[in-house]
Amino acid sequence: MDARGATPAAHAGAPAGPSDGLAVAGWGLLLLLACALYALGLDDHYIPSNGDELVYAHIARATADSGHWLPLASQLEHMRNTKPPLLFWQALLAGDWGRHWSLAALRAPSVAYTLLTALLVAGVAQRLGGARVVGLRAAVIFLAFFSTYRFGRPYLTSAPETFWLALPLLHLLWLRGSGQGQDPGWRAHTLYGVALGLGLAYKSFALVLPAAAALGGARWVGGPWSGWPRLRTLVLQTGWSALIALGLFGLWFVLDPDPRAVWQEFVVGENAGKLADPRGYWHEALRGGGSGMPAQLLAPAQNAGLLAMPVLAALGAGLQWWWRSPGGQRQSTLSPAWRMLLVWLLVWVLVFLIPSQRSARYVIPAMPALALLLALSWHRLPRWGFALTLPLCALVLLVLGRIAIVSHGLGLAPWAGTAAALAAVLAGTALLLAALLRPGWRPACAVAASLAVYAALALTTAPLAGPAGRYPPAALATLPPGGRVAVPNGFNGQFERFRFLLPGQQLLPYDQDGRAATPPGATELQALLASHDAVVWLAQRPDERQPPCLPACTVLGSRWEIKGRQQPGEIRADNLWQPQQWLFRQEWLLQAPR
């Protein structure tokens, strides 16, 4: 929205001028770098993600071991039918039914879906904005959102669901961009239903509500009022798309040999359970914190990450314009495409105020709409939002640079890896300086600096995908084939990471917090050593440099790990500059003396 009181029409790109070719080249280069960044570090255990990734990897691997498409398999109690089968079938094909099982193979389809979504966003933005630079800018903004980077690369549902659920809306916007304003017919809505059904088959049948509401709402506001017959046709066509989508999802019950388990575990446990709260619905909904309604209203800004301030600035300017403008002026100045984008975004935000379990990531399928809104109103966005992005990027780059230096000092990273990470930090710093010296470049530099932060983060953790983060081959050769190895498990499915570190071994998870059963008079570690061929033991403190069982055990090998979940008070102002005290810790592969 325009901070000066106006809102853009359909073609919101800047007028073409002598610098337009330079802008196209600059944004095109940024897009290429962003695509390369998304392919960087796919085999790294420490890319931004969440704990559910390894739960899904476990179910996919167990299903591959079963040799059957259905039913889904799992060794985790109550963790089998957590998602529809399409997500796991994708992994079966990508991993060749376990014959080429790697994190990179599992994650590659997510990256492909994310880049395809960015490509479609670019095409629609170019058509609506009337300039190639608008399309390139929209794609880069979408890839610069932290939610896209965090959830659009790991083996999760966010990337495929975003692609399929956004496809019908992007097609509607493409039609509006043609200037003819034609409505899609029954054939198009049949295809919309197929696309929505594929999105549901990755995530949940419950998404038919926001997906269909956004589709119908976008069609409604995207065309002129032409009486009740058009409304009736719109409702029937949207309902037809929703029925097809639900029908495709329902094939799970037809194909699965155990539909009763699908109903109990997925429909009742995974979905209906999110509508109940033992502490009281309104108590949780109205309180502060990340699970309350106030935080959920800001979900688009949360998902934007480092670009949250420009999003909030645009939101504030838009609300100011809406408040000051008479109703007739709002209707006349908002183009159909803008109304469609706003409905798309608002429907997803408002629908996910309803469940008792709320999270900003539930609104990720609407983030293409936010990227389009920002790109189309680029030259009218309040500049103070981008100005506030710069110190945030500077702070993160400073910390990442320090982490890279410390990791080299600990012997984790070679000079080449450290130099690459510091080069990304310096590139981001140069962009920040350019933004200060050339205020006109500030918005573009803020987006580019966000990508530089992601590059520095990936290059800082990259050494742990090499020898520093893996057990030596000699240590692995010491283990008997199919040996019983006790591995720590601090969260559902986290032990699955050792499938990639200790291939061919029988993994037996234990509670790393010390709640495993222990015979009287023996420590937990001694009990594990006595009953297993080997034990993986994680240091309890970052400064712990040897396992507590020495000299009564043999160290086969060690590796470094990044501690992802810090305890309260572990990171303080006085040790922020010493990441070796709270970030890195060692892990050992141990055996009882033979």
pLDDT for 126-167, tens place per residue?
999 999 999 999 999 999 999 999 999 999 999 999 999 999
Q: What is the pLDDT of residues 182-228, one digit of tens each?
A: 678 999 999 999 999 999 999 999 999 999 999 999 999 887 766 78
> What would the mean pLDDT of 63-73 be, rounded to a whole number?
96
Do both 208 and 85 map to the same domain?
yes
Classify residue 4: in a domain, yes or no: no
pLDDT in tens, 374-402: 999 999 999 999 999 999 999 999 999 99
8 Å CB contact between 376 and 125: yes
Claim to verify: residue 184 and residue 62 sit in the same structural domain: yes
In this structure, are 388 and 453 located in the same domain?
Answer: yes
Give every CB contact of residue 103 below 8 A, 6+ residues apart in sequence: 42, 43, 44, 45, 57, 155, 500
pLDDT-derived band of residue 290, with 50, 70 and 90 as boundaries? low
Return the pLDDT at 141.
98
Considering the domain architecture, whether residues 257 and 119 belong to the same structural domain is answered as yes
* Mean pLDDT within 7-22: 52
Predicted local confidence at residue 78, as pLDDT: 78
**In a shared domain, residues 312 and 413:** no
Task: Tell me, yes or no, whether 453 and 492 share the same domain.
Answer: no
CA distance 178 to 492: 49
| 342/429 same-domain check | no
- What percent of the chain is predicted at pLDDT more than 90? 67
Q: Is the pLDDT of residue 522 over 80?
A: no
Considering only residues 38 and 11, tell me which one the structure prediction assigns the higher pLDDT. Answer: 38
**What is the enclosing helix (H) or strand (E) of 195?**
helix 186-202
Kindly state whether residues 324 and 286 are assigned to the same domain: yes
Mark which of 333, 350, 380 sits at the end of a domain. 380
pLDDT at 308 (0 to 100): 96
pLDDT for residue 280 is more than 70: no
21 found inside a domain: no
- 6 falls within a domain: no
CATH of the domain at 524: 3.40.190
Cα distance between residue 331 and residue 14, in whole Å: 23
pLDDT digits (tens, 9 = 90+) for 96-113: 999 999 999 999 999 999
Q: Give the domain-ending residue among 362, 380, 398.
A: 380
Average pLDDT, the chain: 88
Last residue of a domain, one of 380, 404, 433: 380
pLDDT tens sequence across 552-570: 899 999 999 988 777 777 7
Residue 16 lies in a domain: no
Residue 46 lies in a domain: yes
Asked if 125 and 269 sit in the same domain, the reply is yes
Band of pLDDT at residue 517, cut at 50, 70 and 90? very low
pLDDT of res. 293: 82
Kindly report the pTM of this predicted structure.
Answer: 0.92
Query: Does 8 map to a domain?
Result: no
For 552, list phi and psi in degrees, rounded to 5.
-85, 20
Q: Are residues 48 and 84 in the same domain?
A: yes
Q: Please tell me the predicted confidence (pLDDT) of residue 199.
A: 97
Selection from 393, 400, 440 nearest residue 420 by Cα: 400
**486 and 449 belong to one structural domain:** no
**Which has the higher per-residue pLDDT, 182 or 529?**
529
63: tokens are 């299903």
Domain count, the chain: 3
Task: Supply the range of the domain harboring residue 550.
Answer: 471-566+573-591
